[in-house]
Amino acid sequence: MNSTISQLQQHRSIRKYKSDPLTDEQLKTIIQSAQSAPTSSNMQAYSVIAVTNPGTKSELAKLAANQSYIEECPVFLVWCADLHRLQHAASAVDDVQIPNTTEIFIIATVDAALAAQNATLAAESLGLGAVYIGGIRDNIRKVSDLLRLPKLVYPVFGMCVGYPDQEPSYRPRLPLETILHREHYSTDSYDEGIEQYNWSLQAFMATRVGGNRDTNWSKEVAKRLKSKKRDDVTQFLHDQGFELK
């Protein structure tokens, strides 16, 4: 196992940070690494907003289900799918509009996710830690107003970055056989694999929460799928100019 694979497989979500700030050079290195990620047709359809102002981080924490580590981390990065810059660049040479297609929306969203993952790996290689924050979509309109996002831009997720002040245990993953399909999609391993994972995750959760929570992966998935959480996102995207067809 080489050092890159070792780093990938040792990833942990960090939710407690030391007060030490990141240097501007560290931040630039992380974002430059993000820019080296694959991007569809070189469109680079994403932007990232680095938030260090304590007041802004505090407001973002409140909007994202009061996740205190947003306020505590030295840098909070908001990763945005960005078609606004493409429109700006194209309009300089031709009278063209961003197409209202699901495909271009997917391209921008995937670009943002790929860049963010590169940033995570870069941060971890510098001795930093990170955690993704999908909770910024809980109040997606207010987050966008706070960050002054123009039309054709939406916040995909946030990311806390800083020096870890904890050593969390590794959260187990599904068995490889339930993820890796060979030649064609198959559900043959699902019953056994999911049952096995339910047991391992239940044991992990019992340890993590002091044995007070009896749950497993199937229960957590069912709970999430029944939730009406973030049901305003579609209307927000439409208002931002993402009229998907």
Residue-wise pLDDT for 157-177, tens only, equals 999 999 999 999 889 999 999
Q: What is the pLDDT of residue 52?
A: 98
Query: Could you tell me if 202 and 103 lie in one domain?
Result: no
- Total tally of structural domains belonging to the chain: 2
- Is residue 212 predicted with pLDDT exceeding 70? no
12-52 pLDDT, tens per residue?
999 999 999 999 999 999 999 999 999 999 999 999 999 99
Task: Determine the pLDDT at residue 95.
Answer: 85
d(CA 117, CA 11): 11
Half-sphere exposure of 85 (CA within 13 A, CB side): 13
Q: Are residues 152 and 200 in the same domain?
A: no
Q: Is residue 15 part of a domain?
A: yes
Mark whether 90 and 114 lie in a shared domain: yes
pLDDT band for 211, please (50, 70, 90 cuts).
low
Helical (H) or strand (E) element with 49: strand 46-51
pTM: 0.94
CATH number for the domain spanning 23: value is: 3.40.109.10
Domain that holds residue 204: 176-214
Q: Are strands 153-162 and 46-51 parallel, antiparallel or unpaired?
A: unpaired
Answer yes or no: do 88 and 207 share one domain.
no
Q: Evaluate whether 153 touches 84 at the Cβ level (below 8 Å).
A: yes
Place of tokens 């996740």: 67
Q: How much is the pLDDT for 103? A: 94
Residues 185 and 84 in one domain: no
Q: How far apart are the first and last CA of the chain?
A: 45
Asked if 159 and 62 sit in the same domain, the reply is yes
Residues 10 and 89 in one domain: yes
Asked whether residue 101 falls in the same domain as residue 188, the answer is no
Q: Return the pLDDT at 83.
A: 97
pLDDT for residue 205 is more than 80 = yes
Q: Are residues 12 and 121 in the same domain?
A: yes
Q: In terms of domains, do 190 and 87 share one?
A: no
Is residue 118 situated within a structural domain? yes
Percent of the chain with pLDDT strictly greater than 70: 98
Please indicate, yes or no, if residue 244 is contained in any of the structural domains. no
